[in-house]
């Protein structure tokens, strides 16, 4: 299906921009999703069984557990799959996301640029791009999730990220479900002005606006290609977002501007050397009583098996700052940054357990919900 | 998608624990900066062959089902007998199919000859944030 982009000066809904996905592309990626589900389900179950046999007394220390797991074929294959299924998703000839976008580059770039140009012309505050912005070193060093060049390195990087997210979270059939679960968990009240902290392709902010149409929705990101996608997707839905390309550590919003700053698994992408300043800046732009809130994966306390798997993801999937993140005293730093109430609780609705007949479920991941009140 | 430019810092061996110098089979201890790790170097060949044989069985199931489908279509006169066997592509279709075959072959074969350079290279200078 070839989509068209009708720029509508009145802000009415338009036909969505669709990346042409062939039947082969769809079946190839369906297989990759199935392989990933196998990896996160039956393979983890089998791995845990082998681990229990090899180490009947649960290891108290993740380092000890790591030595046991490292000898197991299941673990070696798990590591291979975690790294290489992601490579298969993005990089394979013909069927990978990058190859698919490349074939349609001209049309897609034109559509993104046309939507951006129209927004800049009709409503300049709705899309503020800053070509002179110097990307922070930590962001330039790491192509997160094995996204070659990073999410800011190519004009189509935002679209690649948007497609890629379908297999990034377990609930790939409903990739916006993870945002709804987060928003369900926040204190239910009216938030007049909200900021999506790392808005990316805009799907979370769209989900927010659908639930809270009265909110003034802002999104900030380092990546211009992502912001262009967010702008396009907002226009397609007749939504008005205020999108801005800025360093999260140096925002140009006034003090006490937002009622809510939310994020989706952003903290693990930030090195601890920058985290206190980032928290302080988020606190500055919040109104008194405003919330800084989001979800993030973490180590499950006392679960050495889970800790090893979670730690391996840091390196296998280029989540390079995850390992120092696990040791970050985020609550303490949040208080130091100016938050008066700090809540960090297990986010059970996001935890995905591997269920086994007649045995206790295995928790291969662990999520926390972070709600910091100014 | 273009790769990032990396600094000239020395490579990190991601399978070696920088604190102890101990080497792991698959549990990465740091970022992949210069060369892909070989997670499966201890995978028993029997297991690899088992996977290939299992895949061969799956391909046979597809072939058998396709043959049954052809036979059914022919017996119900949806297709003339031998239509699939004797099918000749027109020139343009033949060209497209040849291109498909070349792309298909590349997808499979390029895994064998794959360069070990990471497709997404982390700058080794990242160590200052770790």
* A137 Cα to chain B: minimum distance (Å): 8
Q: Which residue of A has its CA nearest to B13?
A: A315
pLDDT recorded at residue A5: 36
**CA–CA distances in Å: residue A293 to residues A175, A193, A195, A203, A354:** 19, 14, 11, 17, 28
**CA–CA distances in Å: residue B91 to residues A206, B82, B84, B87, B98:** 48, 21, 17, 13, 10
Structural domain boundaries, residue A250: 106-373
Q: B32 to chain A: which residues are within 8 Å by CB?
A: 83, 315, 318
Backbone angles phi, psi at A362, to 5 degrees: -100, 130
Is A112 among the domain residues? Answer: yes
* A318 Cα to chain B: minimum distance (Å): 7
pLDDT recorded at residue A127: 98
Q: Which residue of A has its CA nearest to B106?
A: A93
Contact: A79, B30; criterion CB under 8 Å: no
Contact: A315, B103; criterion CB under 8 Å: no
pLDDT recorded at residue A192: 98
pLDDT recorded at residue A168: 57
Residue B111 has pLDDT above 90, yes or no: no
Name the nearest CA neighbour of A237 among A5, A2, A14, A8.
A14
pLDDT recorded at residue B121: 86
Which CATH number do you get for residue A303? Answer: 3.40.50.150
Residue B108's pLDDT band (boundaries 50, 70, 90)?
Answer: confident
Cα separation of A94 and B108, whole Å?
A: 11
Q: A324 to chain B: which residues are within 8 Å by CB?
A: 129-130
Block means of pLDDT (10 residues each) for chain A, 374 residues, are 37 74 84 85 91 84 94 94 92 90 96 97 97 96 92 96 75 79 95 98 97 97 98 97 98 98 95 97 98 95 94 94 94 97 92 81 90 98
Q: Which residue of B has its CA nearest to A96?
A: B107
Backbone angles phi, psi at A195, to 5 degrees: -125, 125
| Residues in B lying within 8 Å of A, measured between beta carbons | 1-4, 14, 24-32, 36-37, 39-40, 42-44, 47, 103, 106-107, 110, 118-123, 125-126, 129-130
Which position has the higher pLDDT, B127 or A223? A223
Residues 6+ apart with CB under 8 A from A152: A135, A139, A222, A223, A224, A225, A226
Is A213 among the domain residues? Answer: yes
pLDDT recorded at residue A357: 81
**Helix, strand, coil shares of chain A as percentages rounded to 5?**
50, 15, 35
Residue B37's pLDDT band (boundaries 50, 70, 90)?
Answer: very high
Residue B71 has pLDDT above 90, yes or no: yes
A277 in contact with chain B, both atoms CB, cutoff 8 A: no
Is A100 among the domain residues? Answer: no
Task: Give A 59-88 residues with CB within 8 A of chain B.
Answer: 66, 69-71, 73, 75-80, 83, 87
A103 in contact with chain B, both atoms CB, cutoff 8 A: no
Cα separation of A83 and B122, whole Å?
A: 14
Contact: B122, A318; criterion CB under 8 Å: yes
Cα separation of A371 and A270, whole Å?
A: 18
Is A160 among the domain residues? Answer: yes
Cα separation of A81 and A99, whole Å?
A: 21
Name the domain count of chain A: 1
Is A90 among the domain residues? Answer: no
pLDDT recorded at residue A266: 93
* B83 Cα to chain A: minimum distance (Å): 24
pLDDT recorded at residue B49: 85
Name the nearest CA neighbour of A207 among A185, A178, A187.
A178
Is A19 among the domain residues? Answer: no
Cα separation of B39 and B14, whole Å?
A: 11
C-alpha torsion sign, points B21, A297, A251, A145: positive
């Amino acid at each position: 299906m070839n989509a068209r982009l009708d720029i509508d000066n009145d802000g009415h809904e338009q036909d969505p921009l669709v990346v042409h996905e062939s039947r082969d592309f769809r079946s190839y990626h369906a297989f990759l999703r199935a392989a990933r589900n196998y990896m996160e389900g039956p393979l983890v179950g089998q791995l845990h069984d082998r681990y229990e046999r090899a180490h009947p007394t649960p290891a108290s220390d993740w380092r000890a557990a790591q030595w046991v797991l490292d000898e197991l074929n299941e673990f070696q294959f798990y590591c291979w799959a975690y790294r290489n299924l992601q490579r298969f998703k993005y990089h394979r000839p013909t069927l990978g996301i990058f190859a698919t976008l490349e074939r349609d580059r001209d049309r897609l770039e034109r559509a993104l640029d046309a939507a951006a140009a129209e927004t800049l012309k009709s409503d300049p505050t709705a899309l503020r791009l800053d070509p002179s912005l110097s990307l922070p070193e930590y962001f330039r060093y790491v192509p997160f999730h094995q996204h070659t060049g990073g999410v800011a390195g190519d004009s189509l990087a935002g679209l690649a990220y948007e497609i890629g997210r379908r297999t990034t979270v377990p609930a790939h059939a409903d990739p916006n479900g993870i945002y709804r679960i987060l928003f369900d968990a926040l204190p239910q009240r009216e938030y007049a002005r909200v900021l999506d902290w790392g808005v990316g392709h805009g799907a979370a902010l769209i989900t927010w606006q659908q639930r809270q149409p009265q909110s003034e929705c802002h999104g900030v990101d380092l990546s211009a290609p992502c912001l262009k996608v967010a702008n396009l997707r907002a226009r397609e839905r007749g939504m008005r977002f205020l999108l801005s390309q800025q360093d999260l550590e140096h925002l140009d919003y006034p003090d006490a501007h937002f009622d809510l700053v939310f994020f989706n698994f952003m903290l693990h992408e930030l090195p601890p050397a920058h985290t206190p300043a980032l928290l302080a800046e988020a606190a500055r732009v919040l109104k008194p009583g405003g919330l800084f809130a989001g979800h993030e994966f973490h180590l499950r306390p006392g679960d050495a098996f889970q800790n090893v798997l979670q730690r391996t993801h840091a390196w296998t999937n280029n989540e390079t700052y995850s390992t120092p993140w696990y040791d970050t005293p985020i609550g303490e730093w949040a208080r130091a940054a100016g938050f008066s109430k700090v809540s960090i609780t297990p986010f059970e609705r996001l935890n995905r357990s591997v269920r086994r007949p007649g045995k206790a479920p295995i928790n291969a991941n662990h999520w926390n919900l972070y709600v910091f009140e100014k | 998608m273009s790769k990032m430019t990396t600094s000239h810092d020395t490579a990190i061996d991601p399978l070696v624990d920088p604190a102890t110098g101990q080497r792991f089979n698959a549990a990465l201890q740091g970022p992949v900066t210069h060369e892909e790790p070989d997670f499966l170097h201890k995978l028993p060949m029997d297991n690899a062959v088992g996977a290939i044989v299992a895949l061969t069985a799956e391909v046979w199931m597809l072939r058998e089902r396709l043959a049954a489908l052809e036979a059914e279509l022919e017996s119900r006169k949806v297709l003339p007998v031998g239509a699939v066997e004797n099918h000749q592509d027109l020139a343009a279709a033949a060209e497209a199919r040849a291109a498909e075959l070349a792309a298909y072959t590349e997808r499979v074969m390029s895994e064998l000859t794959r360069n070990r350079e990471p497709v997404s290279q982390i700058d080794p200078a990242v160590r200052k944030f770790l």
